[in-house]
Structure 1
Amino acid sequence: MREKIIEKANDLFLNFGFKSITMDDLASEMGISKKTIYTHFQNKTKLVEATTDHTFCAIRTGIDTILEEKREPIEELFTIKAFVINHLKNEKASPQYQLQKYYPKIYATLKKKQFEVMQDCVIENLNRGIANGVFLKHINIEFISRIYFMGMNSIKDQDMFPNKQFEVAELQQNYLEYHIRGIATNKGLQILDNLLKTFR
């Protein structure tokens, strides 16, 4: 039952936001009593914590699977982006922004874990891209990996990029293209242009 509660809560939070969904809403959607939910989760904060951890683990597993395929570095970035967007249901309710606003401690913990995982992935991707001749040799890998992570988080800021004006998938696509064009060789740019035709 605990896993079922987490899965349903995750679906509701992604679609309607952490703030909007109450324990009553969750109980109603599942056709169970609120008491049953409280048997597994002391309060909503504990449920949010469990849900974000569940989502993080699921996304990390999916990304690890993609990394094991050892795709061409630029294609790998596009494949990961597509997987994450699909898994997060296009982030209709801006979950990360709401998490930061209403559950700052959980957000801080999640961001730290995301950075640790993403840093390793991006550094490996950059090194392989340089070795394959698709990324410029002179780039500062440590700087690029960190600025890439910061940018990926910043485009989720609803004050800067409101949902009504910027569609999430398009934002992600534009940012990824921006990132690659700044570090790609001519060979890399050709690969990027071909991928843009596929992933648009």
Structure 2
Amino acid sequence: MKKEIISKSEELFLSLGFKNVTMDDIASAMGISKKTIYANFSNKTELVRAVTFSVLEYIYQEIEKINKSAINPIEELYQIKMFVMDYLRNERGSAQFQLKKYYPKVFEQLEIKKFEKMHSSVENSLIKGVELELFRPIIDTAFISRVYFVGMSGIRDQSVFSEDMFDKNYLMESYLEYHLRAIVTEKGLGLLNKYIKQNKTQNA
């Protein structure tokens, strides 16, 4: 039952916002009593934490699969972008805003865990790109991997990038291109342009 509650709560939280969804809403959507939810989660904050960490773990596992199967780091980043966009396609921008505002401790814990899980993956991808001569050999991988992480979190900040002004896919696409153009070699640029062209065709 615990997994089912997390799954339904995730669906509601991401589409309606963490603050907007009540325990009554979840119970009603599942056709169970609120008492059943409280038997598994002592309060809403505990449920919010379980949901957010469950989402992170799933995304991390899928990214690990992409890391192992991608032909090169540029393809890898584009595949990750497509996966994340598809997985979070029903997420409202207000979901992250509400998590940060109303559950700040959970948000902070999530950001720390996200960095722990994702940072090494990004840095290893940069190192691989240098070895394949797709990325410039003089880049500081420790620095750039952190800048990339901060940027990916930053473009989801509704106070800066309002969803009324910026489409989520546009933000992801633009930031990824911005990041890669700063580090690619001439060889890498040719490959990057290929993926940009493919994406424009797919999104047309």
TM-score by length of 1: 0.96
Deviation at 1:93, TM superposition (A): 3.7
Match of 2:5 in 1: 5
**Matches of 1:13 and 1:74 in 2, distance apart?**
32
**Matches of 1:91 and 1:11 in 2, distance apart?**
9
Deviation at 1:142, TM superposition (A): 1.1
Match of 1:167 in 2: 167
User: CA-to-partner distance for each residue in 1:94-125, whole Å, 9 max, x for gaps?
Assistant: 43332111111111111111111221011111
**Matches of 1:69 and 1:118 in 2, distance apart?**
17
**Matches of 1:90 and 1:15 in 2, distance apart?**
6
Match of 2:44 in 1: 44
Q: Residue type of the partner of 2:123?
A: I
Question: Which ranges in structure 2 are unaligned for 5 or more consecutive residues?
Answer: none
Match of 2:81 in 1: 81
Conservation of the 8 A alpha-carbon contact between 1:73 and 1:125: yes
Secondary structure class of the residue paired with 1:91:
coil
Conservation of the 8 A alpha-carbon contact between 1:90 and 1:168: no
User: CA-to-partner distance for each residue in 1:15-52, whole Å, 9 max, x for gaps?
Assistant: 11101111111111111111111111111101101101
Match of 1:144 in 2: 144
Number of matched pairs? 200
Deviation at 1:90, TM superposition (A): 5.1
Match of 1:182 in 2: 182
Secondary structure class of the residue paired with 2:139:
coil
Secondary structure class of the residue paired with 1:150:
helix
Which stretches of structure 1, 4 residues or more, deviate above 6 A after TM superposition? Answer: none
1:133 and 2:127 correspond: no
Q: Residue type of the partner of 1:34?
A: K
Q: Residue type of the partner of 1:166?
A: F
1:37-116 equivalent positions in 2, closer than 5 A = 37-89=37-89, 91-116=91-116
**Matches of 2:185 and 2:103 in 1, distance apart?**
42
- Name the Cα RMSD after superposition: 1.2
Deviation at 1:84, TM superposition (A): 1.4
Match of 2:31 in 1: 31
Aligned-pair identity in percent equals 47
Specify whether residues 93 and 13 from structure 1 end up closer, same or farther in structure 2 by C-alpha distance, changes over 3 A only: farther
Q: Residue type of the partner of 1:20?
A: N
Q: Which moved more, 1:91-100 or 1:103-112?
A: 91-100
Question: Which ranges in structure 1 are unaligned for 5 or more consecutive residues?
Answer: none
Specify whether residues 65 and 94 from structure 1 end up closer, same or farther in structure 2 by C-alpha distance, changes over 3 A only: farther
